[in-house]
């Protein structure tokens, strides 16, 4: 697993929390997430596990992000991915040093591209 100097669980936790504050306030993304997320605290914990697994190799995430998104395919329009990535970029730049922000942005872009391809086939 690739290491990103200085990137740790505390930084990723701060990023995920900042991001979901922004998502919930966003006029386009907020309603989509509100319809899908029953428990915000649990959702944030799962996403912290996801990002620590993805970026730090923690191995804590247990789930199927592809299926989670496919379950809500009818609500996820392709243009929402650009908005999601823009919010992620903004939040990561607010919370992380530039190299770390770039690393999580690059990972998010790859994940977003993969999810878009899956949803296009649904």
pLDDT tens digit sequence for 61-95: 887 776 666 666 667 777 888 899 999 999 999 99
Residue 99: pLDDT band by 50, 70, 90 thresholds?
Answer: very high
Rounded to two decimals, the pTM is: 0.87
- Rounded to whole angstroms, the Cα distance separating 39 from 45 reads 10
Q: How far is CA 93 from CA 25, 53, 100, in A?
A: 18, 21, 9
pLDDT at site 21:
97
Where is average pLDDT lowest: 16-30, 70-84, 107-121?
70-84
Taking phi first (over 0 means left), then psi (-120 to 50 degrees means alpha), and beta for anything else, what does residue 57 get?
Answer: left
Total residues belonging to the chain: 122
In this predicted structure, the answer to whether residue 1 has a pLDDT above a threshold of 60 is no
Question: Could you tell me the domains of the chain?
Answer: 9-121 (1.10.490.10)
For residue 49, what are its two tokens?
Answer: 């596990």
What are the tokens at 53?
A: 């697994």
């Amino acid at each position: 697993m690739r290491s990103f100097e200085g990137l740790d669980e505390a930084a990723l936790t701060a990023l995920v929390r900042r991001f979901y504050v922004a998502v919930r306030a966003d006029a386009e993304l907020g309603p989509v997430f509100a319809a899908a997320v029953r428990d915000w605290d649990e959702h944030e914990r799962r996403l912290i596990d996801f990002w620590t697994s993805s970026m730090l190799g923690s191995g804590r995430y247990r789930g199927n992000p592809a299926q989670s998104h496919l379950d809500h395919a009818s609500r996820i329009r392709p243009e929402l991915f650009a908005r999601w990535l823009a919010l992620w970029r903004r939040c990561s730049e607010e919370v992380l040093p530039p190299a770390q922000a770039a690393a999580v942005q690059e990972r998010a872009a790859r994940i977003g591209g993969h999810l878009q391809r899956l949803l296009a086939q649904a």
